[in-house]
Structure 1
């Protein structure tokens, strides 16, 4: 009996290690985008990923054919949303100075943008995961995209004239 449990535990550990080897890099990148940290210095993203993977491992035997990557991504998003809520004392609205490419966005905008554009989660799934109406998810995603694509006056830099261009 004890040998059987040891064998099952070893198989479970091997399966999980194979999953982590394939998925951890992408999940870490998603967590780094969520936390708006720089890829070189991302302790919050690494902690978020570690906690999500630990929870995924804890429920590994209960997945029963469910996609472990989808589960880990859901846990990552939920942990980020919960930590942002508690950290900023509100519904993911306040901004924190950060250096990442999505630093100009609020935590809620980052969460929706990463789920929709980076992870490819459908609007309906993102809405269900976050407990928001589909229209709200679409609006937040559109607004976040516009924010990233249209730099503010402070972010815009003057364009130098091309060499050989005629000047008036």
Structure 2
């Protein structure tokens, strides 16, 4: 009986290691986009990923046909939504000017390709609201607001 359990544990570990080898890079990139950290300096993103992978490993035997990537991504999103979005603004990165909620929706919709309805269900928002937030955030990323007009001699004022 112990040999069988040891065999099952070893198989589980190999399956999980193969999953992590294939999925961790993409999940880390998604977490980095969420936290709006620099890709080379992303401790919050790494913490999100580590916690999500730990949860996925703990529930590995109960997946029963569920996609492990979807489970791990959901954990990254939920952990970000429950903790990070209350206290973390962006510190750099492409999505830094977006609010945490906007980053979450843009990453799920645009980077991860999650359908609007699935994103809405995951976040507990109406699908129309998710669509509106995504459109506004995408416009903000693609067309950032201009800064204030320069002040000084070259600002266009005619000297008297």
Tell me the TM-score normalised to structure 2 length.
Answer: 0.89
Note the C-alpha offset of 1:149.
Answer: 1.0
Aligned CA-pair RMSD: 1.3
How much does 1:97 deviate?
4.5
The alignment status of 1:82 with 2:75, answered yes or no, reads no
Q: Distance in 1 between matches of 2:147 and 2:16?
A: 46
Match of 1:108 among 101, 105, 111: 101
Structure 2 residue runs of 5 or longer lacking an equivalent are 149-160
1:19 maps to 19
Classify the secondary structure of the residue corresponding to 1:22.
helix
* Alignment length (residue pairs): 148
Q: Equivalent of 1:131, from 115, 120, 124? A: 124
Q: TM-score, normalised by structure 1?
A: 0.85
Structure 1 residues 18 and 97 mapped into 2: Cα distance closer, same or farther (>3 Å)?
closer
- Please state how far the C-alpha of 1:141 moved relative to its aligned partner: 0.2
The answer to whether the 8 A contact 2:35-2:84 is kept is: no
Q: Distance in 1 between matches of 2:102 and 2:92?
A: 16
Structure 2 matches for 1:1-168, cutoff 5 A?
1-85=1-85, 87-88=86-87, 96-154=89-147
Uncovered stretches (5+) of structure 1, i.e. residues with no partner: 89-94, 156-168
